[in-house]
A and B are shown apart, each in its own frame.
Chain A
């Protein structure tokens, strides 16, 4: 216990505390850091940062709702032990374990408005090519869809496990009582899935708030700042503009935000969570 705690403190707690300290300084990595009080936090109160928050919220809501909803639908459809279902489960889950870089590069090629497969398909049915990543009105949505495509296997697998854990006699009893398919889902399945839904919405929200690779590879926050989401913003402040203080202030704010959001989700969903036992 003690050695792993020491390791945890060294590689996790110490950097967290250090970045909290850096957030009160002005530091560009090459000149000595200078204490500036709350200046970095004040600098975050800008339209630029609010746009980042808006983008992050839109990305996060899109990813969480879509991947969770789609994950549940897929799990319900594939909830049997046939070989075909297993094949679909495996292929849907496989993109979840592929590296972000590979997925991002793949989608850059697929989405390319001139040379991409999707553009070719669209133009073969007489539709105009869409500039998925180059149009500032579409770029964030495109990233949401790519993220959902990549990560939907995760909620699907978790939901599958949860579905299979629901005792069959409950369904049987409901069916005997005359409940139809939808009623059984609504009154038996769904209530028993609420712990899973709570777990997924928390983990997916945290993961989507930490989204970075897809932006770094596919759009670098552009066009203009339309896909500038939180962690990429931190990276840009720190390693493009070398404003380590401002970046660290954003880190502290993110930490607080995620903590608050998790608490809120916990509280909201707890009131509606039903445990089987």
Chain B
């Protein structure tokens, strides 16, 4: 009997809660979900606080949601239950699919509105329209502004390279040779690997383009990565299994990235590919002279860009969307982007920030921070198709490892991947 009463009481309370009106005064509160852990989480939180302190109209509440892919899952789940935050971060590859589902607020009117921002001051290669190749179709409407943006770069242990008289490689052949020279063996054990890189979509994509390939045909109707993608994957297979000069870091997604970074900092790997986003972390923790360079090329030099974009939820109430926009605008302003870049290693996204006297001095003192920005001129675009994220996550990423482990040949992996990619592309 008593339990029945408790249950009834609980039910009554639940019914009453939504009926209590929100207090009309005070700032508009909007939620913001982001995907940066560790050091970059602290930086993000500090800037949210700065924004809140800088004005009294809006208050942003930030929430860390795990890595990019965990955050993506939470966003989708939240969207399904109509509880998405007003502002959130997405990776570029996910934009076409989520935009097609109508999740994002078009930003054109905000950009041009009274509290607008100057799109032409954003770095080429960083904005939505320069990130995507619209495959011969008209540009999709603007829904995303860049935030923490990156490219993969080559990090090297300058002390180890100097010891062996090795110069940072600029081509695949030089890379292979340098890895061999830098590898230190003791009997059959490898003490120092010449090279290490996560067996990951991002680096594979860089090498696909370096080999002269593309993901899809120019009209976006068919996959086109089989031959050059095989070449890219085979390069890893050879370094890992034939030369035994490259370490395959275990773990999936960002676990492998962490292993790579740790091995590099512990001087177990002389050269690694990773994101420029780790530059601040590496600089602070390396007990050796840290060097950075462009990724080596094959028939040309090429890199994808990465990192995140800000988007605003279309379903959010208008006042919260306004709060969200004010925050996005402020975070992408030149002053913020300049200091955020110095604190992390992500690229500044505004031309006026890069050319400011403050940043020019900073680059002079810290030339490693310039590598990614200079390398942007070799950046390739991503095809704007809702299939993109599926091709990345399902078709390419989980299968690359099979070739490096010797369970399948690189050719078999890519043949199966291309067939699957064509199946997905045919649906759109």
A-side residues, CB < 8 A to B, are 2-4, 6-7, 28-31, 114-115, 128, 131, 133-134, 136, 219-225, 239-242
Contacts and interface: CB of A to CB of B under 8 A. Distances in A.
Given A31-B101, A220-B252, A136 B407 contact: yes
Contact of A30 (B4, B101, B189): B101
A135 to B, nearest CB: 8
B69 A240 contact: yes
B93 interface: no
A41 B189 CA distance: 47
Most chain A beta-carbon neighbours within 10 Å: one of B73, B97, B248 = B73
Interface residues of B, number: 34
Contacts of B69: 240
A114 B268 contact: yes
A29 B80 contact: yes
B361 to A, nearest CB: 39
Interface string B248-263: 1011110100000001
22 contacts: A3-B4, A28-B76, A30-B79, A30-B98, A30-B101, A131-B250, A134-B250, A136-B405, A219-B252, A220-B252, A220-B253, A221-B252, A222-B251, A224-B398, A224-B402, A224-B407, A225-B398, A240-B69, A240-B73, A241-B393, A242-B73, A242-B76
B239 to A, nearest CB: 16
A222 B79 contact: no
A26 to B, nearest CB: 10
Interface of B: 3-4, 6-7, 69, 73, 76-77, 79-80, 97-98, 101, 103, 188-189, 248, 250-253, 255, 263, 266, 268, 390, 393-394, 398-399, 401-402, 405, 407
A224 B405 contact: yes
A221 B397 CA distance: 13
Interface SS of chain A: helix, strand, loop or mixed?
loop
Contact of B4 (A2, A31, A223, A239): A2
B253 A223 contact: no
A114 B253 CA distance: 20
A31 B103 CA distance: 10
Given A6-B7, A115-B266, A242-B76, 16 more contacts: A3-B3, A3-B4, A4-B3, A28-B76, A29-B77, A30-B79, A30-B80, A134-B251, A220-B252, A220-B255, A223-B401, A224-B398, A224-B402, A225-B398, A239-B77, A242-B73
A29 B76 contact: yes
A241 B268 contact: no
B267 to A, nearest CB: 12
Contacts of A239: 73, 77
B101 A128 contact: no
Nearest to B407: A224
A6 B10 CA distance: 13
Contacts of B188: 128
A271 B402 CA distance: 46
Nearest to B408: A224
Contacts of A133: 250-251
A224 B401 contact: yes
Contacts of A4: 3
B248 to A, nearest CB: 8
A27 to B, nearest CB: 9
A23 to B, nearest CB: 16
B101 to A, nearest CB: 4
Contact of A222 (B6, B252, B390): B252
A6 B248 CA distance: 52
Contacts of A29: 76-77, 79-80
Nearest to A31: B101
A229 to B, nearest CB: 14
Most chain B beta-carbon neighbours within 10 Å: one of A28, A29, A31 = A29
B352 to A, nearest CB: 36
Nearest to B403: A224
A222 B407 CA distance: 13
Nearest to A128: B189
A114 B103 CA distance: 45
A133 B255 CA distance: 12
Contacts of B405: 136, 223-224
Contacts of B399: 224
A29 B253 CA distance: 22
A220 B251 contact: yes
A222 B250 contact: yes
Contact of B7 (A3, A225, A241): A3
A235 B253 CA distance: 15
A225 B398 CA distance: 8
Contact of B390 (A134, A220, A241): A241
A241 B405 CA distance: 23
Nearest to A134: B250
Contacts of B401: 222-224
A7 B97 CA distance: 37
B253 A30 contact: no
A128 B405 CA distance: 19
B3 A240 contact: no
User: 9 nearest interchain CB pairs?
Assistant: A134-B250, A3-B7, A30-B101, A220-B252, A29-B76, A239-B73, A29-B80, A224-B402, A222-B252
Contacts of B73: 239-240, 242
Nearest to A228: B398
Contacts of B79: 29-30
Nearest to B3: A3
A3 B73 CA distance: 33
Nearest to A131: B250
